[in-house]
Amino acid sequence: MITRSNALLQRPDPETKPLPVQARWQTQLARAIRDPRELCRRLGLDEAFWPGAERGHALFEVRVPETYLSRIRPGDPSDPLLRQVLPLGEEAVSTAGYVADPLAEAEHAPAPGLIHKYAGRVLLIASPACAVNCRYCFRRHFPYAENAPSRAQWDESLEHVRRDATLHEAILSGGDPLAASDRQLAWLVERLEAIPHLKRLRIHTRLPVVIPERIDEALLGWLTATRLQKVVVLHINHAHEIDAAVIAACRKLSAAGVTLLNQSVLLRGVNDSVTALAALSERLFEAGILPYYLHVLDPVAGAAHFDVADAEARELVAGLREVLPGFLIPRLVREIPGEGSKTPL
Ligand SMILES: *Cc1c(COP(=O)(O)O)cnc(C)c1O
Ligand code: SF4
């Protein structure tokens, strides 16, 4: 959605066609890099990277907005942000134990786009799209098309929440829920807050990190208006992902009364050192965010090269305890299908 004042602020770019009427973040999303060769070229990676990038792209398409690209060091194939978004030939290698749906989510969907696995909390898939495609994502094979509900299907999901008075928290997830328009989100939140037993609205998102402009007036409008208590769980894996624009976006969320938490995935070659994890926690706190979970990798097919063994993961967190205050230590967890909560390691 776009307000009149936003439209006036959008200066026409003489080099390109006139902009369609959309918010700035939507323009950035629409212009994200989706071509593996272009990604390599823009980052100064030579042609040797092309075949692998194309093979990985065929399995799970490339998506990287400029706002994220600008934080990647050009010419460095081991950059921790690049590792998260550059497809590699390794993704085509099949590894025992790595499967398409490691969390068996398909078995926990009582209504379309709704996952009810844990007591008191229900997860709603508010948008199938993401602002960035993370190579290690456990949803890389998720049947999104079947899980992007229409308004009529939303009614079925909302009815499930309405009928179950043990539910106190609605979690908007995806994909990335903030890839939905503010008009859609305001519509949904209005219906959720009308359900008396709901107390909290939680949003699991990577969008404010990837495209900080997502935290605009339209979003802050519906977020400020709701009676529900608000928690935003961001997804940040490395300190370099937090630049000044991300900090500014987080400040706006905090000012709107949002509790900010972060979840990370422990990833080989991205954040698999005490130094990297400690720097991440410190940087999160500078942005007003508390570390919440450090997930071990879900065994999704195509991501085995990111795996860090359990023993090493425990050692890393023990190392963090030696250098950080307790409130900056994330909980090291694994998601095991069929369990009633995340499982601490
Ligand atoms: C992770 C998850 C939640 C939230 O779990 P918390 O431990 O409360 O953060 C809820 N529902 C599903 C399906 C999940 O995977
Ligand atoms: S933003 Fe989240 S859901 Fe989307 S690709 Fe990345 S990890 Fe997966």
**Could you tell me the distance, in angstroms and rounded to a whole number, from the CA of residue 14 to the centre of ligand 2?**
34
134 labeled binding residue: yes
Alpha-carbon span 68 to 53, nearest angstrom: 18
Structural contact between residues 115 and 108, judged by C-beta atoms closer than 8 angstroms: yes
Structural contact between residues 306 and 268, judged by C-beta atoms closer than 8 angstroms: yes
Q: In what order do the strands lie in the sheet with 229-235?
A: 114-115, 121-127, 169-174, 200-205, 229-235, 258-265, 290-295, 331-334, 343-344
**Could you tell me the distance, in angstroms and rounded to a whole number, from the CA of residue 143 to the centre of ligand 1?**
19
The closest ligand to the CA of 60 turns out to be 2
Pocket of ligand 1 contains residue 121 by CB under 6 Å: yes
Structural contact between residues 302 and 59, judged by C-beta atoms closer than 8 angstroms: yes
Structural contact between residues 234 and 209, judged by C-beta atoms closer than 8 angstroms: yes
Q: Where are the alpha helices (DSSP H) in 134-210?
A: 151-163, 182-193, 207-210
Structural contact between residues 208 and 215, judged by C-beta atoms closer than 8 angstroms: yes
Structural contact between residues 206 and 234, judged by C-beta atoms closer than 8 angstroms: yes
Alpha-carbon span 214 to 68, nearest angstrom: 13
**What residues does each domain of the chain span?**
25-92, 105-344
Contacts 24+ apart (CB under 8 A), 140-143: 140/59, 140/60, 140/300, 140/302, 140/303, 141/60, 141/100, 141/101, 141/300, 141/301, 142/101, 142/105, 143/106
Task: Pick from 64, 139, 306 the residue to mutate for probing ligand 2's pocket: most ligand atoms within 8 Å of its CB.
Answer: 139
Alpha-carbon span 257 to 223, nearest angstrom: 9
Pocket of ligand 2 (CB under 6 A): 130, 132-134, 137, 139, 174-176, 206, 235
- Work out whether strand 200-205 and strand 169-174 pair parallel, antiparallel, or are unpaired: parallel
- What pLDDT is stored for residue 11 in this prediction? 41
Structural contact between residues 333 and 296, judged by C-beta atoms closer than 8 angstroms: yes
Which is nearest to 316 in space by CA: 268, 282, 284, 283? 268
- What pLDDT is stored for residue 65 in this prediction? 98
pLDDT in tens, the chain (345 residues): 333 333 333 344 445 555 557 899 999 999 999 999 999 999 999 999 999 999 999 999 999 999 999 999 999 999 999 999 999 999 999 999 999 888 777 666 777 789 999 999 999 999 989 999 999 998 887 755 555 667 888 999 999 999 999 999 999 998 999 999 999 999 999 999 999 999 999 999 999 999 999 999 999 999 999 999 999 999 999 999 999 999 999 999 999 999 999 999 999 999 999 999 999 999 999 999 999 999 999 999 999 999 999 999 999 999 999 999 999 999 999 999 889 999 999
Alpha-carbon span 189 to 191, nearest angstrom: 5
CA-based torsion, 332, 334, 335, 337: positive or negative: negative
**Could you tell me the distance, in angstroms and rounded to a whole number, from the CA of residue 118 to the centre of ligand 1?**
6
**Could you tell me the distance, in angstroms and rounded to a whole number, from the CA of residue 341 to the centre of ligand 1?**
7
Which two structure tokens, joined as six digits, stand for 335? 């998601």
- Work out whether strand 121-127 and strand 229-235 pair parallel, antiparallel, or are unpaired: unpaired
Alpha-carbon span 291 to 239, nearest angstrom: 12
The closest ligand to the CA of 124 turns out to be 1
To 10 degrees, the CA torsion angle through 316, 321, 326, 331?
A: 20
Structural contact between residues 210 and 132, judged by C-beta atoms closer than 8 angstroms: yes
The closest ligand to the CA of 263 turns out to be 1
**Could you tell me the distance, in angstroms and rounded to a whole number, from the CA of residue 206 to the centre of ligand 2?**
7
For residue 139, the ligand 2 atom closest to its alpha carbon is: 8
Which is nearest to 133 in space by CA: 256, 268, 254, 34? 34
- Architecture, CATH, for domain 105-344: Alpha-Beta Barrel (3.20)
What's the residue count for the chain?
345
Pocket of ligand 1 contains residue 342 by CB under 6 Å: yes
Alpha-carbon span 286 to 312, nearest angstrom: 27
Alpha-carbon span 90 to 87, nearest angstrom: 8
